[in-house]
Amino acid sequence: MSRRKKLRKALMGAAALYGASKLMGIGAGTSGKATVSDAQKTTQVPKIKRPTRAIDTGSKTMVGSKVKTTVDVDALPREVKEKAATVAKTNEKIKKAVIKRRDQGMLSPLMPKRANQISSDFGLGIMDGAKAGKMIKARGGGMARTKPTKLY
């Protein structure tokens, strides 16, 4: 590498380091005194992931499924009740708004709107699996050649 290229590479590296130091705030605070706010900005306490457990809030969605939330494993019964109450209250507020939009016809046509609409269109429920003699929707493309459209 020629001397000129080496010098240019060194200058570009120095400029990049200078710009990075300005972005990170290393050059800030020329007085040399560390104030409380500077110390608070630089010191960050890592958040500890606490083990949680799922609880039932007692509230239901508009299709009838339970609403659950998570609380700390070591939470007191009072804290558990308060968290469940706030989540249930929020859910009821959201549910009321969704039911209002449902009655106006503003929801997606594919979205289940009542509890009896959860089952699938062609006879196979969530956990039913393959049944003898049930036809399923036709497959196109490569799947049509490798798999039958009837489940025996």
- State pTM to two decimals: 0.45
Higher pLDDT, 90 or 140: 90
Residue 92 has pLDDT above 90, yes or no: yes
Kindly report, residue by residue over 15-62, the tens digit of the pLDDT: 887 877 777 765 555 555 555 555 556 667 787 888 999 999 999 888
Rg of the chain over Cα atoms, rounded to whole angstroms, equals 30
Kindly report, residue by residue over 115-149, the tens digit of the pLDDT: 777 655 555 555 565 556 665 555 556 655 566 65
How confident is the model at residue 40, as a pLDDT?
57
User: Around Cβ 21, how many Cβ atoms within 10 Å?
Assistant: 12
Place of tokens 């706030």: 86
Cβ(97)–Cβ(60) below 8 Å: no
Least confident of 4-8, 55-59, 98-102, 112-116: 112-116
How confident is the model at residue 73, as a pLDDT?
92
How confident is the model at residue 25, as a pLDDT?
66
Phi, psi of 59 (to 5 degrees): -100, 160
Is residue 98 packed enough to be buried (19+ CB in 10 Å), middle (13-18) or exposed (0-12)?
middle
Confidence of residue 106 (pLDDT cuts 50, 70, 90): confident
Kindly report, residue by residue over 60-74, the tens digit of the pLDDT: 888 888 999 999 999
- pLDDT average, residue stretch 80-104: 92
Confidence of residue 82 (pLDDT cuts 50, 70, 90): very high
For residue 130, give every residue at least 6 positions away whose Cβ sits within 8 Å of its Cβ, in sequence order, or none.
Answer: 124, 151, 152
Give CA–CA dist 32/124, Å, rounded: 72
